Structure 1
Amino acid sequence: MHSVLNVARYVVEHCPDLTAMKLEKLVYYCQSWALVWDGKPLFKEDFEAWANGPVCPALYKTHIHQFSISNDFLKDYQGDFDEDELETMNAVIKFYGNKNAIYLSELTHKERPWKETRGDLPLGSRSNKVIPELLMQDYYGGL
């Protein structure tokens, strides 16, 4: 299994002009759709239901205090992905990659995994509740 950092590096290489928020959302969708299409996660790290949408703390630690993500971000984290994993990540980048970070954040706010994990927390409140992979797989598999 890969690290979230391997997947993030792949996204950076194939989707120019990334912000940190957009990178988080694209990696989240890579994981979500891998659970549906490939029947397994791309990486072991979890996402949490933060105020601005799903965030992977392990990835967040690498870009904390950065707005823009440079092309050489995580350049030492090349992944050895199989054909199914590449197909999934490429499909996510093709579908979501032209959307801006705010759009992607608002989209995740409308979707059951983030909403259900946050429960009745007020908008903008901090949360470190883990979004269950089974919930991600169930929701996106039903679309």
Structure 2
Amino acid sequence: MIGFCERCHEMVDYSIKEEKKQKNIKGKIVEYIGKEAYCNKCGSEIFVSEIRDHNLAMLDKTYREKEGLISVSEMKLILEKYDVGKRPLSLLLGWGEGTLTRYLDGDIPTKQYSDILKKILNDPNYLKEILVQNKNNITDVAYRRISNALENNETSIGTTVEMEDKIDYVVKYLLTNSVDITPLALQKLLYYSQGFYKAFTGVYLFHNNCEAWVHGPVFRSIYYKYKDHGYNPIEEENYEYGEIKLTTVEKELLDSIVRNFGCYSGKVLEKMTHAEEPWRVTRTGLNDNEGSDRIIDKELIAKYFNEIKSKHGMLNISDIRDYSTDLFNKLYN
């Protein structure tokens, strides 16, 4: 890595160190872990724009978490989830038409406005109420788009049959976009999809329970569906891409899971899940090879992946790679 050192008056190699930092924001001291670059030649601190941007992002993230405020990535998820633009949503909520644009550009929302946005993200019925009350604030086109998104939103589905079907759509998408995926690897990709989707959106991707089996987290219905493939890759030819009923946000999350976890074999993924808290805690008191149908509590999964998201400073779905790479390196280096 090369940067300009003002003391040496030349381009130099530099090293990066993590450091505890603090900043006064609105009268409150915010402590966070940032980074600094130091010249390898003279040891002086040098300016690197990427590190400045990283520190600003970490400060923003830490402050929002401390104050319980919605993140920029969560606001983007709202727009995608409900197929709505920044201006229409601002008007629908009775705010200034540029309010959401400012928030997405980095302005920090008030606690009141943040709580409204968080409730919209996690509760489609709340947005439905607002849509009915304030539909005159937006155009007919915007109204229809939001209405259709609410109608198609899988998180608001209430029947058991349709909720069970959701995991099948996820499986089909993973199989369609993966190469040589075995039943063992598929189970682990489903587990990571569930955990990270919950961490980034606040809702579960599907409602099926996950069990702590000897070889890691397992979704029982999917196990029995594909167990005849054994250790061989699953080959499915009887479905069309158009049959996979998932939202844009769901597909983007699954794409990131495939990129960042699908590159590993089933046995590597098994070892990864064995190192994580949800599987280990659920199997407390069991021998390594002892069978079990204990369910891994969804709240335990949610808590773990929220902590991972926070620890690695994940602002976007693409940041999942930081965790998968770090976990692999810890296990195999």
TM-score normalised to structure 2 length: 0.41
Which residue number corresponds to residue 320 of structure 2? Answer: none
CA distance in 2 between counterparts of 1:19 and 1:35 reads 24
Percent identical among aligned pairs is 27
CA distance in 2 between counterparts of 1:71 and 1:98 reads 19
CA distance in 1 between counterparts of 2:298 and 2:283 reads 15
CA distance in 2 between counterparts of 1:106 and 1:130 reads 19
Superposed structure 1 runs of 4+ greater than 6 Å apart: none
Bigger RCO of structures 1 and 2 (CA < 8 A, at least 6 apart)? 1
| Offset at residue 76 of structure 1 (A) | 6.8
| Structure 1 segment 63-74 matched on structure 2, within 5 A | 63-67=226-230, 68-72=233-237
- For residue 216 of structure 2, the aligned residue among 36, 50, 53 is 53
| Offset at residue 43 of structure 1 (A) | 1.1
SS at match of 1:18: coil
| Offset at residue 71 of structure 1 (A) | 3.6
Contact residue 16 and residue 71 of structure 1 kept, 8 A: no
| Offset at residue 97 of structure 1 (A) | 0.8
Where structure 1 has 5 or more consecutive residues not aligned to the other structure, the ranges are none
RMSD: 1.6
Contact residue 48 and residue 54 of structure 1 kept, 8 A: yes
| Structure 1 segment 101-116 matched on structure 2, within 5 A | 101-116=266-281
CA deviation vs aligned residue, 1:6-28 (integer Å, no higher than 9, x gap):
11110000011011100111111
Q: How many residues align?
A: 142
CA distance in 1 between counterparts of 2:271 and 2:208 reads 23
| Structure 1 segment 104-143 matched on structure 2, within 5 A | 104-143=269-308
Q: In structure 1, what residue type is equivalent to 2:307?
A: G
The structure having more radius of gyration, on CA atoms, is: 2
Which residue number corresponds to residue 94 of structure 2? Answer: none
CA deviation vs aligned residue, 1:28-58 (integer Å, no higher than 9, x gap):
1111111111111111111100000000001
2:259 counterpart of 1:94 = yes
Q: In structure 1, what residue type is equivalent to 2:223?
A: Y
Which residue number corresponds to residue 190 of structure 2? Answer: 27
Question: Would you tell me which structure has more helix in proportion to its own residues?
Answer: 2
Q: In structure 2, what residue type is equivalent to 1:134?
A: E
| Offset at residue 115 of structure 1 (A) | 0.4
SS at match of 1:142: helix
CA distance in 2 between counterparts of 1:76 and 1:116 reads 39
Contact residue 4 and residue 58 of structure 1 kept, 8 A: no
Contact residue 209 and residue 219 of structure 2 kept, 8 A: yes
Q: In structure 2, what residue type is equivalent to 1:101?
A: G
| Offset at residue 5 of structure 1 (A) | 1.3
Which residue number corresponds to residue 176 of structure 2? Answer: 13
